[in-house]
Amino acid sequence: MKKKVLSKNKLYTLIALLFIIGILGFLQANSAQYSYQISILERSAIYAVVAVSMNLLTGFTGLFSLGQAGFMAIGAYTVAILTIPVETRASVYYVDGIAPFLANLQCPYWLALIIAGLFAAGVAALIGIPVLRLKSDYLAIATLGFSEIIRAVIAAPQLNKVTNGSYGLKSIPGFPNLYVAFGLCALCILLMVLLINSSYGRAFKALREDEVAAQAMGLNLFRYKELAFIISSFFTGVGGGLLAIFMRSIESKTFSINLTYDILLIVVLGGIGSITGSVIGSFLVTAGREWLRFFDNPLYIAGVQIPLFRSGFRMVIFSILLMAVVLFYRRGIMGSNEFSWAGLFRLIKRIPNKLKKKNKAQKGENA
């Protein structure tokens, strides 16, 4: 029976992958017509990578960090500096010029992403030594302060020849195609899934459940906290690099505190401790904000303007919808569960059963 179930699950997964590849192929073939939809999907996939990396730290290790925007900024600027074509750098660094050691330094985007992740991980290793001795809210405040320090350093005029200061960086090469964008995001998430299901992942979960018991079992608390922080920062830096490639131009304002709050919202909405929830939450939050844009435009009915439909009303509706989701799903959409085909089929079967019960109850009341 188990072999049959596994074979069925593999078949369903293969069909789903082929379906997704088919959709990506259709969008790629009609990229000019569906450019807006493609941009939403690409941003959602990139945010999913960062959300899963944050969930790795918060949901699976129990460390509450709010420094994601800072590590994303490190990754984004690293990728931008390493991938901007040499011939266009004069038009990018037009104020103070570019540092001589960067003038002819260029590498492919995949290598730049790895370097960006390693650079973010290296910075995380340094700041993790003092910061990870803090707990709960104090850790969150410390990492949030670090994020703002990074943004201020990037925008500092003293680094104009490296980061171009407050002028930002442009002319960053974009993704060659949709397959590359989604393939890189899927690869990052897959690596984190494998890590969570490994012995290191079990050690992270032990820290989350009870630090005293984990230490009694022989786990070095600081070592595993530092390791989780470094790995999470690595993938956050890669996510920032992916965002730079997607946007093709960046500035320090892009990586404000609001970006961290957006990622935290995705994690909480999807479910703390659920990778599937982070992915679903990323697509729901990113797409939801865009699809509700018609609320920002004036609405006229029979020549009369509806007063509520104006700029900013979209976020009011979006916030109400989020509150409704949190009220009905207090642990997030997925809670701490992961997607499974068996669970999906059970959910599908429950819907008609609930409808039948409602119909029977209504008939009983009418009788």
**pLDDT digits over 284-337, tens only?**
888 888 777 766 666 666 566 666 666 666 677 777 777 777 777 777 888 777
pLDDT band at 115 (very low <50, low <70, confident <90, very high): very high
The mean pLDDT value of the chain amounts to: 84
Residue 211 dihedral angles phi and psi, to the nearest 5°? -65, -35
Q: What pLDDT was estimated at residue 119?
A: 94
Nearest-angstrom CA–CA distance, 153 and 44: 28
**Two tokens at 268?**
């909480």
Report residue 100's pLDDT band, with 50, 70 and 90 as the boundaries: confident
Measured distance CA(365)–CA(296) in Å, rounded: 44
Whole-angstrom Cα distance, residue 310 to residue 280?
29
| Nearest C-alpha neighbor of 207 from the set 122, 265, 132, 127 | 132
Residue 194 — φ and ψ, nearest 5°?
-60, -40
Higher pLDDT, 180 or 328: 180
Structural contact between residues 38 and 178, judged by C-beta atoms closer than 8 angstroms: yes
Which range is most confident: 30-39, 129-138, 288-297?
30-39
The larger pLDDT score, comparing residue 327 to residue 195, is at 195
* Nearest-angstrom CA–CA distance, 244 and 73: 9
Give percent of the chain with pLDDT exceeding 90.
Answer: 26
Q: Comparing C-alpha atoms, which of 78, 79, 110, 62 is closest to residue 229?
A: 62
* Local structure of residue 169 (DSSP, 8 states): B
Contact 63, 228 (CB under 8 A): yes
Name the token pair of 367. 């009788």
First to last CA, the chain: 46
Q: Is the dihedral of CA 97, 102, 107, 109 positive or negative?
A: negative
pLDDT of residue 290: 79
Per-residue confidence (pLDDT) for residue 124, from 0 to 100 = 92
Half-sphere exposure of 257 (CA within 13 A, CB side): 8
CA distance 67 to 149: 10
**Which of 144-148, 298-302, 358-362 is predicted most confidently?**
144-148
> Distance between CA atoms of 129 and 112, rounded to whole angstroms?
26
Count of Cβ atoms closer than 10 Å to residue 113 Cβ: 26
Please, which pLDDT band fits residue 80 given cuts at 50, 70 and 90? Answer: very high
Using the CB atoms, write b or e for 54-84: b if 16+ within 10 Å. bbbbbbbbbbbbbbbbbbbbbbbbbbbbbbb
Residue 111 has pLDDT above 90, yes or no: yes
Query: What is the radius of gyration, based on Cα positions, of the chain?
Result: 23
DSSP state of 82: H
Cβ(241)–Cβ(113) below 8 Å? yes
Predicted model pTM = 0.88
Q: Name all domains of the chain by residue range, CATH numbers in brackets.
A: 10-297+308-365 (1.10.3470)
**Computed from CA positions of residues 134, 136, 283, 285, in that sequence, does the dihedral angle turn out positive or negative?**
negative
Q: Rounded to an integer, what distance in angstroms lies between the CA atom of residue 282 and that of residue 43?
A: 9
Task: Tell me the residue length of the chain.
Answer: 367
φ, ψ dihedrals at 301, nearest 5°: -125, 115
